[in-house]
Chain A
């Protein structure tokens, strides 16, 4: 079963713009991860943020976590056409649960 909701469900932007995706979850967590999936293929791990962290950066990615609101956001700065993919947040220990995902389209 899904862990929570992501919004927006779909996002379309121009190359060079920033993209922000949000994720809400239901249970208490030890960490939250973000994954990317291109065209229904395998998922690629992007970033992990622990429950005691509020913000984390990796290249053009910035993730925030608000455990009081049970929510996280993923910001991709200066987007590229190659960033077109579905993005999922995931929580859980052994039994990882994914959010519904955001389908991002970056137009060249």
Chain B
């Protein structure tokens, strides 16, 4: 199984809502990542988890709250988002976090904030 799954595929939320994005992999990978991608732009790294511990937070606003409850699962909790947060949110995983590693991406969650 070389798949990273993400749910939901699409999400529309108001600025006062609380929602969560979910990412799952069963490849035994110990590094997981969240990226944000705006239209016609490259993905931008948000967070990196290594062995279920947050190792990189790219100065992401606190309205985005990541969580890694176990080695297979990664969540991104959303609260009080702004319309400019509308984007494609991509999850990825790799065997471990490091420069030799290929990252496997999920299909993304397309988020619209109204």
Residues of A within 8 A of B (CB): 1-2, 30-31, 33, 35, 40-45, 48, 88, 92-101, 103
Contacts and interface: CB of A to CB of B under 8 A. Distances in A.
B39 A42 contact: no
30 contacts: A31-B99, A31-B100, A35-B105, A40-B39, A40-B108, A41-B107, A42-B4, A42-B90, A42-B105, A42-B108, A43-B103, A44-B105, A45-B102, A45-B103, A45-B104, A48-B100, A93-B97, A94-B31, A94-B50, A94-B97, A94-B99, A95-B56, A95-B58, A96-B45, A96-B103, A98-B42, A100-B42, A101-B41, A101-B42, A103-B40
Interface of B: 4, 31, 33, 37, 39-45, 48, 50, 55-56, 58, 88, 90, 92, 97-100, 102-108, 110
A2 to B, nearest CB: 6
A48 B101 CA distance: 9
A97 B45 CA distance: 7
A105 to B, nearest CB: 14
